[in-house]
Chain A
Amino acid sequence: GDSVTQTEGQVTVSESKSLIINCTYSTTSIAYPNLFWYVRYPGEGLQLLLKVITAGQKGSSRGFEATYNKETTSFHLQKASVQESDSAVYYCALGDWYGGSGNKLIFGTGTLLSVKP
Chain B
Amino acid sequence: NAGVIQTPRHKVTGKGQEATLWCEPISGHSAVFWYRQTIVQGLEFLTYFRNQAPIDDSGMPKERFSAQMPNQSHSTLKIQSTQPQDSAVYLCASSRSGGVAETLYFGSGTRLTVL
Contacts and interface: CB of A to CB of B under 8 A. Distances in A.
B49 to A, nearest CB: 11
Interface string A36-55: 00100000111110010100
B68 to A, nearest CB: 18
B42 to A, nearest CB: 4
Contacts of A96: 100
The interface centre, meaning the residue of A97, A102, A103 with most chain B CB atoms within 10 A of its CB, is A103
B65 interface: no
A104 B56 contact: yes
B43 A97 contact: no
Interface stretch (A17-25, A69-77, A80-88, A106-114): A106-114
Contacts of B56: 102-104
B43 to A, nearest CB: 4
For chain A, the bracket of interface size reads 20 to 34
Contact of B100 (A34, A47, A91, A107): A34
B43 A107 contact: yes
Nearest to A97: B100
Nearest to A40: B106
A59 interface: no
A1 B2 CA distance: 35
A44 B106 CA distance: 10
Interface of A: 34, 38, 44-48, 51, 53, 91, 95-97, 101-110
The list of the 10 closest CB pairs from A to B, nearest first, reads: A107-B43, A95-B100, A46-B106, A109-B42, A104-B45, A34-B101, A97-B100, A45-B108, A48-B103, A53-B101
